[in-house]
Structure 1
Amino acid sequence: MSRKPALMLQGTGSNVGKSILVAGLARALVQRGIKVAPFKPQNMSNNAGVADGGEIGRAQMLQARAARLAPSIHMNPVLLKPESEIGAQIIVQGRLAGTMRAHEYGSHKMTLMPNVLESFQALEADYDLILVEGAGSPAEINLRAGDIANMGFAEAADVPVVLIGDIDRGGVIASVVGTHTVLPVSERQRIKGFLINKFRGDVSLFDDGLSEIAKRTGWRPLGVVPYFSQARRLPAEDVLDLQTGVNSSGSFTIAVPKLPRIANFDDLDPLASEPDVSVHLVESGEPLPQNADLILLPGSKSTISDLEFLKAEGWDIDIAAHLRQGRPVIGLCGGYQMLGRRISDPHGVEGPARSIEGLGHLDIETTLSRTKTTSPARGVHCASGLAVTGYEIHLGETTGSDCERPFAHISGRTDGAHSPNGLVCGTYMHGTFSADAFRRRYLQGFGLAASDYRYDQAIDQCLDELAQHLETHLDIGALLDIAYARAA
């Protein structure tokens, strides 16, 4: 197979905007008539979505959407889902491959390069151009041995690189020039240009900065991208970005405990986007607000340890007080499991084999298993009769008398549970609030007037605006020249 055009965006550090830039470029290139696909060799995130019955990072789900494609497991062949400060689940081409500590993965990752290259080549066979996103920074030379995320992949696949610097955090000249300094000659030469992201103010004020970086590195300046404030409307990839997208002006308050291993937190985005809804992410050390209209327990990558954290914060007491006031609670996936009487982990899936008492607000019990459910879900919401769509990513089976009052009927089976008084409910389904009709009906059940906000339409409009933003401020022609030179 002949090589296809490809371009890799790497950053001087984490959170410089790589994911959003890939999404914006994907939409811009699609609008130019180019059949483009996103690719990230290795991602680390507990915010995952379902593709081909497997898991990939939510950032690649958004990038696929920007490219107007169905997501594929090949777009993110290695996904690390942290379970603790030193360990993570390893997802390879969509499937759970095991759990490793950081030092174990450091020596294991090089064995995953064949999987990474296989997935990259699968995309090459189907698309005209591949946009590759790095992870972290290539300047982390202490992690270079066996690297599959940055220069290790770029060299193995012979993909040219453009480096992104984030001026918003300060020190951008030093970060770009410093990256040049620590890289070996072959990797410096692989970087064909650089761009500066998140500039605030008069872009011309950085003309001398561009010249200085170009003089010190020999790399071509490809543009300065002004800060794109509308990015807050796009699903956040990192839990650190969650606060950015939260609406604080709505009259209806949803309180969400910010768990250490919170997962699939993009469930909050459609709710936070509603004009009358305020989503309050409650930090450690804060009580759950007494005036909350609804408490939402989110998904978790490590349900038992997050439940222990919730209890240590005293949030279990706040939840009980909230229910005594006749106010509702909903749990999603891991949050659903926490609402039951007990969670058991007989196989040590999340650590040492053990069992823990749940919050006891649903008459259910959950047993964690080694088999992971990763599948799209489509069914009917029992209370409203409306169609619901979403996806499931979880370990474990839940049973109990409250399951006789399910949240939804899905493909001939039931999902979720309600308490007898209807105040407490839970579901394994993620993504249900993205559907405008269901979200409106759900909120109307609490007395909110129906809004005309269309979530999916707003996301696509934002991607179009981002594409135009990049067309205006980047030399996309030069980026394409770099990408197409690989296939020459």
Structure 2
Amino acid sequence: MVLGTSSGAGKSWLATALCRHYARQGLRVAPFKAQNMSNNARVVQGGEIGSAQYFQALAARAEPEVRMNPVLLKPEADTHSQYVLMGRVDPALTALPWRERGERAWPTVRAALHGLIAEHDVVVIEGAGSPAEINLMASDIVNLRVAREANARCLLVTDIDRGGAFAHLYGTWALLPEADRARIRGFVLNKFRGDAALLAPAPEQLQALTGVPTVGVIPMQWRHGLPEEDGVFDDRSNASGAVHTTVAVVAWPRISNLDEFQPLKNVPGVRLQWARSPAELAHLGASDVVVLPGSKSTAADLAWLREQGLDRWVAGHAARGGRVLGVCGGLQVLGEALIDTEGIDGNAPGLGLLPLVTSFARDKTVRRTDARFAALTGPWAALSHVDLSGYEIHHGQTAPHPAMAAAGALANEVLPGLAWQNTAGNVLGLYLHGLFEDPRVLQALFGATVPTLDTVFDRLADALAAHLDAAALDALVAP
């Protein structure tokens, strides 16, 4: 099990690397995270799971499935989250107070964990946040309770780049119940920059205090290629040579599935940028792309867009011939109106850049989809007749605006029921997530290829083998 001293310490990275490391030894490996809180989700057989466990399964060379992440919490507001149990939204659990949910879900979590253990040689478990959150220990179903249930051998990882790493490790260890301290088999210092010799004598002093060795010092892994689990990742320019295209993603408050844009970080000549104000977009030209991404609360994010003045900027960019892309919630925002008779998301007028209207349905569409673009025009013409694979996660159902269609204002439907383009050809909206994860799309749009996920996973495992004690890695899975 991989525990962390905080969110962002590197649990997901380390768990993914461990999955590939043990899979390369010929072991049957599965990932597991009892409860993930994220609006980054992927579609698997039976529903949706957190993106981190999806990629960990691929790293493990296993088929992703809902047991690998039995509980997914999808934040909809600062104090409210949608509760997804075994891949499907559970309205009853969603309505319960926070501390009552875990106990109700625990039998399902426990069954999923033991099912994976019974069918695999190794289960790599990821914790959440920190196991030493003493205000949450009594209702915890993702850290210590899982470690005890699985009798897991644990690594504790910390982000040394933030400073205070040894205090974080010692403080976390000290706040654990004594029996759980014994589960910690090694400390890992992640995101290290500098001369490793300068760490001495701290690892030795820490081991004298705790009895736990520091088994690895992992250097900072810039551009490792693994999609980020939490938050908006940095937009440090990565383009080799001159930047010919900027893809600016509007980072609204309830952004979802932001990890699908990660491959753009690896496309030569393309700069991926995150934007929260018109000033951050002022440098864009007509050849650049503004993306309205997915949203867990489309009407609320649309209201935020207007508060920032970004609605006017996006409309102006489109009027100047600039490229605009809406994905899922972004597609809905590009239309004329959001209609919500079910109390799912909210009613609102859209940006009016596509003659479409979206109605929110109580049932959620969750599925993987293979499709082929029809003929496109204008700046998106390169996508004409390109095959792609992606996934849908949405409540809204979008169709042509009846009155506008009757008056002759029709969008170009380039994927049946899934994607539309304006008459000028520069505004494109689609429901399918994963556009930039498909190598066929990247080749068509940018003439570029990026490292495959398999290559990314192997690089993670190589880094792990180079910087973690080999005997410690073997001991974690010894009989």
Pair in the same fold by TM > 0.5: yes
Aligned twin of 1:431: 434
What is the percent sequence identity of the aligned residues? Answer: 39
Counterpart mapping for 1:73-84 below 5 A: 73-84=66-77
**Counterpart Cα distance in 2 of 1:100 and 1:53:** 18
**1:339–1:270 Cα change, 3 Å:** same
Give 1:404 deviation, angstroms: 6.0
Aligned twin of 1:398: 398
Counterpart mapping for 1:125-140 below 5 A: 125-140=118-133
Amino acid of the residue matched to residue 465 of structure 1? R
Q: Deviations over 1:270-305 (max 9, x none)?
A: 233221222221134745335242211111111010
**1:403–1:217 Cα change, 3 Å:** farther
Aligned twin of 1:373: 365
**Counterpart Cα distance in 2 of 1:433 and 1:240:** 17
Aligned twin of 1:296: 291
Aligned twin of 1:312: 307
**SS at the partner of 1:192?**
strand
Structure 1: 5+ residue stretches without partners: 1-7, 444-449
**1:295–1:482 Cα change, 3 Å:** closer
Q: Is the 8 A contact 1:77 1:115 kept in 2?
A: yes
**SS at the partner of 2:233?**
helix
**Counterpart Cα distance in 1 of 2:310 and 2:301:** 11
Give 1:87 deviation, angstroms: 0.7
Task: Identify the range of structure 1 (376-385 vs 393-402) with the bigger mean alpha-carbon deviation.
Answer: 393-402
Aligned twin of 1:340: 335
Match among 35, 38, 63 for residue 28 of structure 2:
35
**SS at the partner of 1:119?**
helix
**Counterpart Cα distance in 2 of 1:364 and 1:113:** 43
**1:245–1:182 Cα change, 3 Å:** farther
Match among 43, 56, 75 for residue 50 of structure 1:
43
1:110 maps onto 2:113 in alignment = no
**Counterpart Cα distance in 2 of 1:193 and 1:339:** 50
Q: Is the 8 A contact 1:403 1:416 kept in 2?
A: no
Task: Identify the range of structure 1 (84-93 vs 244-253) with the bigger mean alpha-carbon deviation.
Answer: 244-253
Give 1:182 deviation, angstroms: 1.5
**1:167–1:290 Cα change, 3 Å:** closer
Aligned twin of 2:381: none
Runs of 4+ in 1 over 4 A off after TM superposition: 99-103, 244-249, 401-404
Give 1:405 deviation, angstroms: 2.3
Q: Is the 8 A contact 2:238 2:268 kept in 1?
A: no
Aligned twin of 1:446: none
1:470 maps onto 2:464 in alignment = yes
Q: Is the 8 A contact 1:230 1:462 kept in 2?
A: no
Aligned twin of 1:417: 420
Q: Deviations over 1:375-400 (max 9, x none)?
A: 00001111211211111111121111
Give 1:403 deviation, angstroms: 7.3
Aligned twin of 1:276: 269
Q: Is the 8 A contact 2:261 2:437 kept in 1?
A: no
**1:24–1:102 Cα change, 3 Å:** farther
Match among 15, 18, 24 for residue 11 of structure 2:
18
Give 1:311 deviation, angstroms: 0.7
**Counterpart Cα distance in 2 of 1:230 and 1:333:** 27
Give 1:15 deviation, angstroms: 0.6
Q: Deviations over 1:309-354 (max 9, x none)?
A: 001110111011112212221100000000011112222223xxx4
Give 1:203 deviation, angstroms: 1.9
**Counterpart Cα distance in 1 of 2:171 and 2:36:** 24
Give 1:263 deviation, angstroms: 0.7
Give 1:23 deviation, angstroms: 0.9
1:355 maps onto 2:347 in alignment = yes
Give 1:234 deviation, angstroms: 1.8
Give 1:102 deviation, angstroms: 10
Task: Identify the range of structure 1 (359-368 vs 399-408) with the bigger mean alpha-carbon deviation.
Answer: 399-408
**1:160–1:105 Cα change, 3 Å:** same
Amino acid of the residue matched to residue 241 of structure 1? F
**SS at the partner of 2:338?**
strand
**Counterpart Cα distance in 2 of 1:438 and 1:464:** 24
1:480 maps onto 2:455 in alignment = no
**Counterpart Cα distance in 2 of 1:285 and 1:82:** 26
**1:115–1:315 Cα change, 3 Å:** same
Task: Identify the range of structure 1 (237-246 vs 331-340) with the bigger mean alpha-carbon deviation.
Answer: 237-246
**Counterpart Cα distance in 1 of 2:126 and 2:425:** 45
Give 1:41 deviation, angstroms: 0.9
Q: Is the 8 A contact 2:245 2:270 kept in 1?
A: yes
Q: Is the 8 A contact 2:333 2:351 kept in 1?
A: yes
1:327 maps onto 2:306 in alignment = no
**1:242–1:370 Cα change, 3 Å:** farther
Q: Is the 8 A contact 2:277 2:310 kept in 1?
A: no
**Counterpart Cα distance in 1 of 2:441 and 2:8:** 33
Give 1:168 deviation, angstroms: 1.2
**Counterpart Cα distance in 2 of 1:403 and 1:78:** 41
Give 1:152 deviation, angstroms: 1.8
**Counterpart Cα distance in 1 of 2:233 and 2:181:** 31
Provide TM-score, normalisation by structure 2: 0.91
Q: Is the 8 A contact 1:54 1:94 kept in 2?
A: yes
Q: Deviations over 1:106-134 (max 9, x none)?
A: 22212211111111122123211000000
**Counterpart Cα distance in 1 of 2:467 and 2:268:** 31
1:183 maps onto 2:190 in alignment = no
Aligned twin of 1:447: none
Q: Is the 8 A contact 2:16 2:56 kept in 1?
A: yes
Q: Deviations over 1:83-115 (max 9, x none)?
A: 111111111111111387898122221221111
Q: Is the 8 A contact 2:418 2:431 kept in 1?
A: yes
**1:397–1:69 Cα change, 3 Å:** same
**RMSD of the alignment, in Å?**
2.1
**Counterpart Cα distance in 2 of 1:101 and 1:398:** 26
Q: Is the 8 A contact 2:43 2:368 kept in 1?
A: yes
Amino acid of the residue matched to residue 129 of structure 2? G
Q: How many residues align?
A: 461
Aligned twin of 1:3: none
**Counterpart Cα distance in 1 of 2:49 and 2:238:** 24
**1:253–1:241 Cα change, 3 Å:** closer
Q: Is the 8 A contact 2:266 2:450 kept in 1?
A: no
